Amino acid sequence: MKNLFLGCLVVTVMGLAFWGYTENYATKGSLDKIAQLNEEIGLAHSRLRVLNAEWAYLNRPERLLQLVNANFDNLRLLQLTSDHFARLEQIPYPGPDLGPITEPIEVMNRETSP
């Protein structure tokens, strides 16, 4: 009886040791993965910041004004004036949705980015 108990104890200890061993490596693996993800998040953040800065630069009021002037024949955009306000009933009901965007444009090539 005593031997059976001892045997069970030994088997339990070995089982726990095996579990501990696998958990240890699983945790280390997870930590490495988190570190890698964090690095990717950092890179994505810096890429996002560059894109935001570029977006802000491309949309600066001065450039938009130049574009409006250069494309006046096609777009006929005018400065917002007090005549452009209308009553609610004067505004036409919005048309159907434009539908999903099927051809997204890659604004930043991820492969070539550092």
Report how far residue 49's alpha carbon sits from residue 51's, in angstroms, rounded to the nearest whole number: 5
Report how far residue 61's alpha carbon sits from residue 86's, in angstroms, rounded to the nearest whole number: 25
Contact call for residue 97 and other proteins (CB under 8 A): no
Report how far residue 47's alpha carbon sits from residue 37's, in angstroms, rounded to the nearest whole number: 15
User: In angstroms, what is the minimal distance from the CB of 31 to other proteins?
Assistant: 4
Contact call for residue 112 and other proteins (CB under 8 A): no
Contact call for residue 91 and other proteins (CB under 8 A): no
The pair of three-digit structure tokens given for residue 62, joined into one six-digit string: 């001065």
Among residues 61, 94, 95, 99, the one that binds other proteins under rule CB under 8 A? 61
Among residues 60, 66, 75, 77, the one that binds other proteins under rule CB under 8 A? 60
Among residues 6, 8, 53, 70, the one that binds other proteins under rule CB under 8 A? 53
Residue 8 or residue 44: which is nearer to other proteins going by CB?
Answer: 44
The pair of three-digit structure tokens given for residue 105, joined into one six-digit string: 């444009």
The region that residue 99 occupies, defined by phi over 0 for left and psi between -120 and 50 for alpha, beta otherwise, is left
Report how far residue 97's alpha carbon sits from residue 16's, in angstroms, rounded to the nearest whole number: 60
Residue 62 or residue 103: which is nearer to other proteins going by CB?
Answer: 62
- Candidates 9-17, 27-35, 93-101, 105-113 — which segment interacts with other proteins by CB under 8 A? 27-35
